[in-house]
Each structure stands twice: as C-alpha cells, then as structure tokens.
A and B are shown apart, each in its own frame.
Chain A
Amino acid sequence: MKAKINLDATYVQSEDLVSREIEGELIIVPLVAGMGDMEDELFTLNETGRAVWAKLDGKKSLKTVAKELSAEFEAPPGEIERDVTGLAEELLKRKMIVKASKK
C-alpha cells in the first residue's frame, strides 16, 4: 500500500536512522528498537535520490523541492514532481521520513 504524500506538506528525515556517504553511495541504516542492524536490510540512494534526500529538511514543501530540482537538473517540472513523489512515498512507507508540517 502506498503512503499518502501531500505535495504542499514538508517532510524531514527521520531521527531513527543513520546515513553516511560511503564510496559515492548513501548508506542508510534504520534504527529499529534501539538497534542499527547491519545483518538486516539497509538502504541506499543513488545520486539523484541523494539530491532529493538532502532537501528533505522539514522546511521546504515537496512542491518546492521538486521545483528546485527541476531547475538544477534542467528537467520538466511535472516529471520531477512525479519522481519526487514516488521516492517520498517509498521513504514514508519505510518510516525514513516523517511529515514535519501540519498540512
């Protein structure tokens, strides 16, 4: 089931994870029940995923994030908005981001 994303809302990276850039890849270790488990599932983000991730600071709405990325990557805004929403849905479903705004 897809998590419901609101483009006008702001989202922030969850505090229950640790992320580090290792050899060009962002490795994300979720903290589940007080444990960062390397034997369990870890997550990675590719370069453009990292660009989205870096902007999820709880201040900018997803719409603003998409707009900024559209300018940075010189890509159609609609396409970028779709991809940002898709990634945000995945991240929210896995509790890697949380909604920061009340919207």
Chain B
Amino acid sequence: MVASPDTQFKPVLGTKKGKELFLSSQHLEELLKGVLDKGACFRFQGKGLSMSPFIKDGDILTIAPLPTASPGLGDVVVFTHPNTGKLIIHRVIKKGGGSYLTKGDNVPEGDGLISRAAIVGRVIKVERNGKHISLGLGPERFLIASLTRRGLLFLLRPVWRLVRFFYKGSVR
C-alpha cells in the first residue's frame, strides 16, 4: 500500500508569479489589506475597463495605504463595494459628510455613497507596457472628477488625443 501524498511529511516551499494565481476579489482584498496594514504598497495587475482611458485592462497598479487624512477629490481609490462586496478601483468625484461618491471614468453610473471605512487604499502609480502613465493621477484629477460628476468627461477626448499624438506620434 502506498501512503497518500497528503500524509507524507515533505514540506515544500514553492514559488509562483502573481499572474499564475487566480485570485477572487475577496482573496485579493485579503492580501491587499494585509500588505497595506503593514504600511507597505501593493503592486498588481488590474482588470477591467471601467477606468479607461486613464487606467486600462492589464495595467500594473501600485496601491498605497491611505494616510490618516481623507481621500481627496479626484483620487483613484480602492474600496469594497457595500452591496456587492467586490473590490473596486474608481475615482472620488464628490465628498462630504464622511462619505464619498465614486465612479469609474468609463461607466455611466456612480457607485453610490462609499464610507471612509470601506476605502482601503489609493492608486499612486500606473504602468503600461513598462512605462509609467501619470495622466489621470496628477493635478488634472480635479478636472476629471469635476467633468465626470457632470457627465462631461467626453469633453476631454480631444485633449486626450492631442496628448497621445505628442507622446506617441500617432492619433487613433
């Protein structure tokens, strides 16, 4: 009779790349919170199109713990949605009374009011194809938040195209 591998004592330390892990929103949140709670940043690959064009599917995001101060207007924050329990990365478009109105830059509807306690961190860096993408996280975030709140973010499209033209030498 062969002993079951489960009962054999053979401790193994394995290695993995984050890409090989298929983490649920809940598990990703556990790791994210664990890292942020230690005051460290968390770097991982984001999924989804709701923050396009500033954050695209597959971009590498760096999340920093929030300082004691509240998240600011235009900040891109990570929070657990109170209704779905899912981990979401969207922009703060309005704040007041200890709550935050958040919305994806590329979705028509806001997320509703999010409490400070639900917000776990803030996006401080976006990388795409090995390049640092700063547009959307600098001072322009106030304008983006303001236009998003009024449903006028499309007005930035010509500007966005120009920026792409000068940076990439092509217009799409």
Contact = CB atoms under 8 A, between A and B. Distances in A.
Which secondary structure dominates where chain B touches chain A? mixed
Interface residues of B, number: 31
Interface of A: 15, 18-20, 22-23, 27, 29, 31, 34-49, 51-52, 69, 73, 75, 79-80, 83-84, 86-87, 90-91, 94
A49 B43 contact: no
Contacts of B11: 45-46, 48-49, 51-52, 83-84, 86-87
B143 interface: no
B151 interface: no
A36 B42 contact: yes
A80 B14 CA distance: 19
Tell me if A's interface is mostly helix, strand, loop or mixed.
mixed
A44 B43 contact: no
Interface centre among B6, B13, B16, B60 (most CB of A within 10 A): B13
Given A20-B31, A83-B10, A91-B13, 14 more contacts: A20-B34, A35-B40, A36-B34, A36-B40, A36-B43, A38-B44, A39-B45, A39-B60, A40-B18, A41-B15, A42-B18, A48-B8, A80-B9, A94-B13
